[in-house]
């Protein structure tokens, strides 16, 4: 059966499906997978399992449309799919959100409808949350109840449709139903495993188990952790032409890896993400530590309502922000986990505990020294902000206590000139080479200290 956007619904035999209402009494609201009409000869004993098994042998299901209908007193969200999938809907507070968890899907949404911003829905986003798990996150302007979510079979040229009706409710009512599925608090690293509607095959853990005690540092290759900001469901900022921060910083990260690996084995490079996938901020720090990084470089791109502002700037960690702009930027970058719908209660919240102790002072000094070195090289490749290009604030991703770390904002996607440059491979290569040269200089300067450490008893 052909659909509106050229997508094909593969299992046309499933067109006659039962449509079942959600279970609304529990916190987690699994969307029932439609059950084929029983046939005496071929009815499988486990139709849901059979469907999933079938699906795993073919291309992943695709989300092919997203529509939003705002009416007085309610808002309807329709997510259109090429295949039936197991979905899990739940709500979260602080800020109020509705999360729709899906197995990993392809995103083939053409034109989606944007909320007016005045109704129940403030905004929404979608993307890969982690391997095997795609996700929609809907930000709410007010507490809302999810009424009777349903999965509808293909009809009238549309594919399978997941329909959610949101209606205003009281904060108390919203809070009483909000929470992680099964009532369990789910952290960034085990989110999928605890969701009953997750794919049959559990994805591998995001971060490897803690490594044994690190061996003493040798004079071998330096380990450079290159952290492309955002990813997956969190696109970061975007430019006038639709260029997305997450894509540009990943491209620069790949160029930086190439530049460093072409330096005769002086560096080993570990990317916190190699693809368009979301990684929680705390996990980025864990990846750096698990790989015993010598230096952490986080790549981002900024946005400013004053579109004339352009140029790169660099940030290091501090408990008091150097200025209001830096504080605001750190607040924005630290929102990544909230944007992706990660549980931020208790110890899972890397933003809540930016406390810098004395042991971290030495690391901070080395971070500052590296930041200043970058500012000697970067102007060769790209424009750098003319005033105070080095600032500091409480960036959660720079929190690794023992690894010097900087966050580079490579420019502004709000500035048309910066955006035009960012689109070119030449700019990406030049910026990567400038950062690689800064890393050369940083470690060249550190040799005497490394030798002293090696010589110490
Ligand atoms: Zn960013």
Q: What confidence tens digit (pLDDT) does each residue in 324-367 have?
A: 889 999 888 888 888 888 766 555 555 555 555 555 777 888 99
Q: How far is the centre of ligand 1, averaged over its atoms, from the C-alpha of 237 (Å)?
A: 7
| Sheet containing 62-71, strands listed edge to edge, beginning at the edge strand earlier in sequence | 106-107, 62-71, 74-81, 160-168, 144-152
Residue 177 and residue 232 in one domain: no
**The pLDDT value given to residue 190:** 29
Residues 27-47 as b or e (16 or more Cβ within 10 Å = b): ebbbbbbbbbeeeeeeeeeee
Q: How far is the centre of ligand 1, averaged over its atoms, from the C-alpha of 293 (Å)?
A: 21
Q: How far is the centre of ligand 1, averaged over its atoms, from the C-alpha of 395 (Å)?
A: 11
**The pLDDT value given to residue 48:** 46
Q: Which CATH number belongs to the domain containing residue 287 in this structure?
A: 3.40.630.40
* Mean pLDDT for the chain overall: 77
Containing domain of residue 58, as a range?
12-36+54-183
Q: How far is the centre of ligand 1, averaged over its atoms, from the C-alpha of 313 (Å)?
A: 12
pLDDT per residue as tens digits for the range 230-255: 999 999 999 988 899 999 999 999 99
Residue 236 and residue 132 in one domain: no
Whether 48 is covered by a domain: the verdict is no
**The pLDDT value given to residue 346:** 53
Residue 126 and residue 231 in one domain: no
Residue 172 and residue 29 in one domain: yes
Q: How far is the centre of ligand 1, averaged over its atoms, from the C-alpha of 174 (Å)?
A: 31
Whether 190 is covered by a domain: the verdict is no
Whether 243 is covered by a domain: the verdict is yes
Whether 217 is covered by a domain: the verdict is no
Whether 216 is covered by a domain: the verdict is no
Q: How far is the centre of ligand 1, averaged over its atoms, from the C-alpha of 316 (Å)?
A: 14
Q: How far is the centre of ligand 1, averaged over its atoms, from the C-alpha of 297 (Å)?
A: 13
Q: How far apart are CA 129 and CA 126, in angstroms?
A: 8
Dihedral sign from CA coordinates of 351, 247, 421, 304: negative
Q: How far is the centre of ligand 1, averaged over its atoms, from the C-alpha of 61 (Å)?
A: 29
Whether 135 is covered by a domain: the verdict is yes
Q: 425-455 and 245-261 are packed helices; what angle lies between their axes, rounded to 10 degrees?
A: 50
User: Is 224's pLDDT higher than 90?
Assistant: yes
Instruction: Answer with the one of 156, 183, 210 that is the final residue of a domain.
Output: 183
Residue 177 and residue 230 in one domain: no
**The pLDDT value given to residue 21:** 32
> Which of 8-22, 185-199, 250-264 is predicted with the least confidence, judged by mean pLDDT?
185-199
**The pLDDT value given to residue 261:** 97
Confidence of residue 160 (pLDDT cuts 50, 70, 90): confident
Q: How far is the centre of ligand 1, averaged over its atoms, from the C-alpha of 259 (Å)?
A: 22
pLDDT per residue as tens digits for the range 430-447: 999 999 999 999 999 654
Q: Which CATH number belongs to the domain containing residue 20 in this structure?
A: 2.60.40.3500
pLDDT per residue as tens digits for the range 68-112: 888 888 899 999 888 888 888 888 888 889 999 888 888 888 777
Whether 85 is covered by a domain: the verdict is yes
Whether 189 is covered by a domain: the verdict is no
User: Is 427's pLDDT higher than 70?
Assistant: yes
Are the CB atoms for 331 and 396 separated by under 8 Å? no
User: Is 119's pLDDT higher than 70?
Assistant: yes
The count of structural domains within the chain is 2
Residue 237 and residue 174 in one domain: no
Q: How far is the centre of ligand 1, averaged over its atoms, from the C-alpha of 301 (Å)?
A: 5
Residue 235 and residue 160 in one domain: no
């Amino acid at each position: 059966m052909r659909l509106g956007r050229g997508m094909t619904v593969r299992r046309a035999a499933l067109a006659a499906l039962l449509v079942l209402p959600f279970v609304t009494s529990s916190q987690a609201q699994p969307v029932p997978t439609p059950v084929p009409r029983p046939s005496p000869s071929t009815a499988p004993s486990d139709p849901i399992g059979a469907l999933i098994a079938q699906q795993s042998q073919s291309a992943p299901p695709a989300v092919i449309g997203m529509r939003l209908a705002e009416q007085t007193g309610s808002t309807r969200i329709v997510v259109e799919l090429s295949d039936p999938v197991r979905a899990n809907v739940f709500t979260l507070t602080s800020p109020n959100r509705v999360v729709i968890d899906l197995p990993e899907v392809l995103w083939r949404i053409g034109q989606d409808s944007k909320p007016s911003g005045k109704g129940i829905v403030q905004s929404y986003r979608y993307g890969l949350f982690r391997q095997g798990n795609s996700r929609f996150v809907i930000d709410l302007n007010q507490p809302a109840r999810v009424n009777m979510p349903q999965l509808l079979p293909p009809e009238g040229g549309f594919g399978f449709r997941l329909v959610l009706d949101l209606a205003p409710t009281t904060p108390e009512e919203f809070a009483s139903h909000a929470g992680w599925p099964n009532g369990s608090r789910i952290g960034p690293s085990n989110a999928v495993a605890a969701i009953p509607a997750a794919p049959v095959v559990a994805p591998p853990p995001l971060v490897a188990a803690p490594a044994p005690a690190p061996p003493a540092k040798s004079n071998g290759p330096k380990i450079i952790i290159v952290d492309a900001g955002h990813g997956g469901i969190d696109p970061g900022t975007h430019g006038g032409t639709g260029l997305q921060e997450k894509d540009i910083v990943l491209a620069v990260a790949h160029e930086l890896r190439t530049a460093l690996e072409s330096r005769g084995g002086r560096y080993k490079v570990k990317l916190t993400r190699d693809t368009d996938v979301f990684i929680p901020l705390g996990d980025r720090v864990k990846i750096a530590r698990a790989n015993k990084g010598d230096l952490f470089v986080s790549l981002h791109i900024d946005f400013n309502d004053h579109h004339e502002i352009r140029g790169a700037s660099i940030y290091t960690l501090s408990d008091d922000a150097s200025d209001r702009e830096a504080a605001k930027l750190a607040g924005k970058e630290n929102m990544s986990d909230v944007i992706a719908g990660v549980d931020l209660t208790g110890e899972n919240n890397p933003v809540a505990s930016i406390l810098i102790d004395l042991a971290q002072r030495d690391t901070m000094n080395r971070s500052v020294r590296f930041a200043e070195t970058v500012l000697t090289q970067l102007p060769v490749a790209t424009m750098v902000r003319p005033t105070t290009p080095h600032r500091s604030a409480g960036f959660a991703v720079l929190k690794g206590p023992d690894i010097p770390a900087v966050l580079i904002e490579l420019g502004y996607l709000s500035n048309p000139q910066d955006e035009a440059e960012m689109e070119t491979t030449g700019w990406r290569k030049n910026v990567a080479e400038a950062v690689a040269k800064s890393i050369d200089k940083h470690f060249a300067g550190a040799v005497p200290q490394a030798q002293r450490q090696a010589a110490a008893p």
